[in-house]
Amino acid sequence: MDGDRTTPWQPTVIAGPKHGMLVTPAIAKMMLKKAKNPLFVIGPLIKDDDGLISLCKNIVEAWNLPVVATGNIYKSLTENGIKSKRYGTIEIVNLLKDPEWKGINSEGQHDLVLFIGVTYYLASQGLSSLKHFAPHLKTVTLCKYFHSNADASFPNMSDSEWTNYLEKMSKI
Amino acid sequence: MTYKKMDKKLDNDFWKTKNLSLTIGEVSIGKPKQELDEPMGPTPKPSVTDLRSWDFKLLKRYPPFYAPFCDMCCLCTYGKCDLLGKKGACGIDAEAQQARTVLLASCIGTAAHAGHGRHMLHHVIKEKGKDFPIDMGKNIDIEAPIIRTIIGKKPVTVSDLDESLSYVEEQLSHLLSACHTGQEGNALDFESKALHAGMMDDLAREVADITQIVAYDMPRGDGDEPLVELGLGTVDKDKPVVLCIGHNVAPGAEILDYVEDNDLYEDVEICGICCTAIDITRYNQAAKVIGPLSKQMKFIRSGVSDVIVVDEQCVRTDVLEEAKRNGAVVIATTDKMCLGLSDMTKEDPELIINELVNGKIDGALILEPKKVGKVAVEVAKKIAKRRESLKCLPDISEIPEIAKECTECGWCVRVCPNNRPIMDAVTSAAKGDLKKLADLYEYDMCYTCGRCEEECERNLPLVSFITKAGDHFVKNQKFKMRAGRGPVQDVEIRKVGGPIVLGDIPGVVAFVGCSNFPNGGIEIAKMAEELLKRSYIVVATGCSAMSIGEYVDEDGLTLYEKYEGIFDASGLANIGSCVSNAHISGACIKIANIFAKKPLSGNFEEVADYILNRVGTCGVAWGAFSQKAAAIAAGVNRWGIPAVLGPHSSKYRRLYLGRIDKEEMWDLNDLRTGETVKGEPAPEHLLYAAETMEEALVSTVKMCIRPNDTPKGRQLKLSNYIDLYKKYFGELPPDLELFVRTERDIPITHKKEVMDDLTSKNWTPREAPKEPSLLERK
């Protein structure tokens, strides 16, 4: 792999003048601290990786995050002790667009949404939708790949570096 | 070996004098009556805005969801304009721009089907005359449900189809013009126009398929059409091979006629990819189906075809370049795709053959199908022998050596539309393990678009690697698929219309569209199998129908061999090619007419409202990628038929989504009482993109629920929804209280746990509407 960090993982998803900001765990945690009603969206790409699910569980518990499970990961999360609500990626993005939506815990619309494990091209489209039509919230991706349509994203990186990033995310 | 060979000559019945028609210009003497024996409804030949009120009812319930590809508009010289939180120089905003793009895509798709239909109609009128009758067989009285509803007439001869097609072309001009800078400015109005384009697409497809059915005597809805051969292993590589790619059957039919007329069945192989493959086997079962669109690059690269005949739509635009790599000849056959080739239409066939065989030209444009038939077969016969050694694929033993050149830069994966693990497969191959390459081949996990090769910094022939490794493992794979049957017969509708509307049959699920599947074609086959086991009626068309045929169980049987081709519970009906999708909408329209006695003529709104609220059907376009698929989806949506798409379909930029948390969205009018009543999210969405197969399957069965279900029908539908939800997500669905109206709706096998769930949510029973509708009571 080359050292490229902030070209979108699928380079053709570049959408225009506004490009997501690269964040380290330290900055992502600052965003989380500032958020009043954050949400964690976990997608099916980590379904078969117990290590990654465990890292996500640590993040959920450390920050007391409400969780949405997309695709077919709901059962895996339940089996691993992560309580979540199931929505399709498109469905949750559609709800997040609506400033009047009550949020998954009926505490009002979320102001920060973390994503991990959503199919890359689908996530990119969903993030584009939120970029255009949900100015009331910020998006952060914790995936191994850079997402230019997010407000903030981890860079493209190796598995070991990603694991390190996720471990840091679980330490407040 | 005997083949079913259709009579392609003029039928003697044609000359019977009973309905003899003499046509002079537009004046017809003694022409059979076109008018239908029912009152004309409010919207015959509707204009772009005539059905706007219906569209707005749909759009209020299912507001458009936009996911822009791009922040900018790049259409005119005002721009580029950045639309992120801003308006463009012309005043357009991001929502309207996305909707405009969807309209544009729908117009392109509709134009592709209409152009195809126009070619077909011209060809048939030229060959068989304007008054060639439309005879759909003794079991089909409603020969053209879409034409009847939209145009308000019964087509009697092929020339009557011209009126429908001219109307489509006129509407298409208006719709396309709305995309021009400085015209429509409202997203919902763009959406209404996109739905209108979709309806035009439905009409164009019906014209195209009826034309080819009557002209080529294709099957007219028989559920017991024979099984045809499918798969790369069915082709005898030692014979001259002619490959047809595209959607227009005319050249392929002439090739088969030439083979038959010259008694060459044992000497030449005729095969096809994409819809042309389905249509040539509807015409003559001597032809073989290589497979869906995703087989295209693989098969061309394999070097097996001597002559590649391309017609229109979904053909690789670099087909000539690819063919030249292994000395194959390309014949282009329509004005849609000339490929820079010399127009040889008027030349003597012998001269064309000579020039192609001697390599003076790489290919030819021949716009006369009959001439294509002779040239393609004769060229294949003459060059096959010398091409035996012209295989551009690396030898399987060479792959590990070449693979060692991989620098592991990873860009092959990053540019792959599906992020396939290509680099891993190549690095494994470098160590002598070709299994991962073969895995990419099987079930079209890699659909060989070739973007990885374009990106490879070492110019490694990655598609050839996959093709060779896969071919080595699967070359003997031979499958069976049922030949495309065409429309659903009226007699079948009489039998199942009631059970579908009342919910005794849990649903009709249509697997349609392209093969851009997220995880290989096997997923679509598995979804079909699950539904067949649960007594759904499953219909399939196009590439999806072919992919279903590539999956075998432990006994080596395909679903087509295990399930009948009937339109009934647990039937798996291959309807035909992409244009045959019209018969799926047509079946729903027939239910409204035959079962519920709804008049069709000019009565779109009432028929669509009936389908939306009562006919438990759902489309699944798991691998949809083209503009035609966008138009097809818009078409079925306007009829009130929901569709579940694959995750790639988020790239269409627009979906139609309901909101279960907004109760007011689901209010219905009960036409029996005239009251507005609380409804339910049935169907929940009109157009939805799922991320995984499991999500798609659960969404599909849920989207077969309709307000009109009887308690028994609702029990059956909820039973499937609960079973599948528990299977994939491990617990009861979280929204059962929305669908259980009274205790009688609860499936007996789940009664206690559902009641417990409902009690915990303070559920109270409610009345089901007797005649649910979005329309006002008249």
The owner of tokens 């599909």 is: B700
pLDDT at residue B32 above 70? no
Instruction: Give mean pLDDT, residues B312-340.
Output: 96
Instruction: Give mean pLDDT, residues B684-697.
Output: 98
Instruction: Give mean pLDDT, residues B376-390.
Output: 91
Phi first, then psi: what are they for A22, rounded to 5°? -75, 130
- Domains located in chain A, CATH noted: 21-99+108-170 (3.40.50.1220)
pLDDT at residue B2 above 50? no
Question: Do residues B81 and B89 touch, judged by C-beta distance below 8 A?
Answer: yes
Amino acid B17: pLDDT: 46
Amino acid B192: pLDDT: 98
Amino acid B474: pLDDT: 72
Secondary structure element (H or E) that encloses residue B332, with its range: strand B329-332
Amino acid B411: pLDDT: 95
A158-162, B101-105, B300-304: segment of lowest average pLDDT:
B300-304
Lookup: tokens for A14: 């570049």
Torsion of CA B328, B334, B336, B342, to 10 degrees: 60
Q: Looking at chain A, how many residues does it have?
A: 172
pLDDT at residue B11 above 70? no
Q: pLDDT per residue over B144-168, tens digit each?
A: 999 999 999 999 999 999 999 999 9
pLDDT in tens, chain A (172 residues): 456 899 999 999 998 899 999 999 999 999 999 999 999 999 999 999 999 999 999 999 999 999 999 999 999 999 999 999 999 999 999 999 999 999 999 999 999 999 999 999 999 999 999 999 999 999 999 999 999 999 999 999 999 999 999 999 999 8
Secondary structure element (H or E) that encloses residue B621, with its range: strand B617-621
Chain A nearest CA to B439, separation (Å): 19
What CA–CA distance (Å, rounded) separates B19 from B30? 7
Tell me which chain A residues have a C-beta less than 8 angstroms from the C-beta of B648. Answer: 121
What CA–CA distance (Å, rounded) separates B635 from B172? 14
Phi first, then psi: what are they for A12, rounded to 5°? -80, -5
Tell me which chain B residues have a C-beta less than 8 angstroms from the C-beta of A86. Answer: 729, 734
Burial of A52 per CB tally in 10 Å (0-12, 13-18, 19+): buried
Chain B nearest CA to A14, separation (Å): 7
pLDDT at residue B554 above 60? yes
Q: Which of A16, A88, A129 sits opposite B691 (nearest CB)?
A: A88
Amino acid A76: pLDDT: 97
Amino acid B596: pLDDT: 96
Secondary structure element (H or E) that encloses residue B508, with its range: strand B508-511
Mean pLDDT of chain B: 93
Cβ-defined contact of B688 to A17 (cutoff 8 Å):
no
Question: Does the interface ipTM go beyond 0.95?
Answer: yes
A5-19, B241-255, B339-353: segment of lowest average pLDDT:
A5-19
pLDDT-based confidence at B21, cuts 50/70/90?
A: very low
Amino acid B329: pLDDT: 97
Instruction: Give mean pLDDT, residues B535-557.
Output: 96
Best of A86, A87, A90, A109 to disrupt the B interface (most B CBs within 10 Å) is A90
* A/B interface, count of CB pairs below 8 Å: 125
List A21's β-bridge partners, or say none. Answer: A152
Q: Is B73 annotated as a binding residue?
A: yes
For Cα atoms B686, B687, B689, give the angle at the middle one, nearest 5 degrees: 145
Amino acid B24: pLDDT: 47
Q: pLDDT per residue over A99-118, tens digit each?
A: 999 999 999 999 999 999 99
Amino acid B393: pLDDT: 72
Nearest to B508 by CA among B645, B617, B667: B617
Q: Identify the three-state secondary structure at position B274.
A: coil
Q: Is B416 annotated as a binding residue?
A: yes
Cβ-defined contact of A88 to B699 (cutoff 8 Å):
yes
Nearest to B160 by CA among B136, B134, B140, B185: B134
Amino acid A12: pLDDT: 92
Amino acid B9: pLDDT: 42
What CA–CA distance (Å, rounded) separates A110 from A103? 6
- Domains located in chain B, CATH noted: 51-216 (1.20.1270.30), 232-388 (3.40.50.2030), 397-474 (no CATH), 479-773 (3.40.50.2030)
Instruction: Give mean pLDDT, residues B749-768.
Output: 96
Question: Do residues B85 and B177 touch, judged by C-beta distance below 8 A?
Answer: no
Chain A contact present for B419, CB below 8 A: yes
Q: Which of B415, B651, B734 sits opposite A11 (nearest CB)?
A: B415
